[in-house]
Amino acid sequence: MNAQTNSTHLAVHPELADVLAALPERPENPYTDVAALRADFRRLMAPSMPAHDPRVTVRHAALSGPDGNTLDVQVLRPAGATGVLPGVLYLHGGGFVYGELDGPGPMAREACAAAGAVVVDVRYRLAPEHRYPAGVEDCYATLEWMAAHAAELGLDADRIAVTGASAGGNLAAAVCLMARDRRGPGIAWQGLLIPCLDDRLRSTSARRITDRRITNSVRLAHTWDTYLGPDRAPYTPAYAAPARATDLSGLPPAYVLTCGLDPLRDEGLDYARRLTEADVPVETKDVPGAWHFFEGYAPHTELARRTTAHWLAALRAALTSTSRTPAARA
């Protein structure tokens, strides 16, 4: 069954039908040319990258990474804001391989402006040059740096959220597990947006979404191979694939965003269910008829604007709640 025929059986949101119809088929394994993949992403995001965003100020900092490496971070602060603000560790997506932009990405900027927060956008090490656990350890080191330098950054160490989309959602979930297990900094909220959580790819949605114009399970299998490496162990650690974690208790309140035409939908919803069963407060949002990272391809649609507004409102509410309590430090 070709991609075009397969798509007729999927309920595409009316606002997105023309956008999907115009998309070309993509290679089954995009990681055969990493340089081209990174360049293509930059071209896709270029219209959303203004030379200057008057809503935020940006400064750059460097910190020591876990392996003696240097981590570059961008620290965003709402323009004109004074006093101590909540903090957000933002972890970009991109299949653990790409996703870095020349300046703060749209999601980091929106989080800063909408939540009135200091946002730290880290340039963690990417595969295939640096496979697991390099990237996630970089992200955790950045969380520790934020907490240790809270006064200098003008942020409240008891109000730090961690959020990311796709591979960034994976890293956000993993950082929360690491902070709990290592008795690290408290995390007030985790935002898992279209998260990539399970390397097994056994869910119904993973089997169902095969259209080559959008992210599908074949592409995701190559993503995992690239992140974990061809000689990976037979058992994947939970910090690499958080769905592998057997204990989700004691984690921070969560927000989980999924899309109806995303092969990752079911693993995201299942993780949300398991968090709930572990007595972790969870809010879920599913977007029927939308594919993985549809906002990047259709930012002009009302559906994209509503979806973005929804997770930003959840972030803002979590960081401004008077009853907030960060994840317990054991």
Of 113, 165, 110, nearest in space to 285 by CA: 165
| Residue among 297, 241, 307 nearest 270 (CA) | 241
- The question of whether 292 is a catalytic residue gets the answer yes
What are the tokens at 21?
């119809």
Tokens of 139: 């992200």
In angstroms, the CA 207 to CA 294 distance is 19
Query: What is the per-residue burial (b if ≥16 Cβ within 10 Å, else e) of 138-171?
Result: bbbbbbbbbbebbeebbbbbebbbbbbbbbbbbb
Give 282's strand partners. Answer: 254
Amino acid, single-letter form, for residue 301:
T
Catalytic residue among 7, 166, 203, 205: 166
Task: Assess whether 166 carries a catalytic annotation.
Answer: yes
Decide: helix, strand or coil at residue 120: strand
**What does the pLDDT read at residue 5?**
36
Q: Is 66 helix (H, G, I), strand (E, B) or coil?
A: coil
> Would you call 258 helix, strand, or coil by DSSP?
strand
How far is residue 283 from each of residues 190, 254, 286, measured CA to CA in Å?
11, 6, 10
| pTM for this model (two decimals) | 0.95
Structure tokens at 194: 């279209």
Report d(CA 170, CA 148) in Å as an integer.
Answer: 24
Positions of the chain with pLDDT lower than 70, given as ranges: 1-9, 322-330
Helix, strand, coil share (%) of the chain residues, nearest 5: 40, 20, 40
Q: Are 103 and 74 in contact (CB under 8 A)?
A: yes
How many residues in total does the chain contain?
330
Q: What is the pLDDT of residues 278-299, one digit of tens each?
A: 999 999 999 999 999 999 999 9
pLDDT of amino acid 4 = 39
For the chain, the straight-line distance linking the first and the last C-alpha, in angstroms and rounded, comes to 52
The burial of 198, by beta-carbon neighbours within 10 Å (0-12 exposed, 13-18 middle, 19 or more buried), is given as buried
**305 vs 123: CA distance, rounded Å:** 26
Bond prior to 133 in cis (omega within 30° of 0): yes
Q: State the burial class of residue 8 (Cβ atoms within 10 Å of its Cβ: 0-12, 13-18, 19+).
A: exposed
* Residue pointed to by tokens 């870095």: 100
Query: Catalytic: which of 198, 203, 211, 292?
Result: 292
Residue 9 has what pLDDT?
65
Nearest to 175 by CA among 137, 147, 127, 124: 137
What's the confidence (pLDDT) of residue 97?
A: 98
Active-site entry in 156, 199, 262, 266:
262
DSSP 8-state code for residue 13: -
Token output for 105: 């990405």
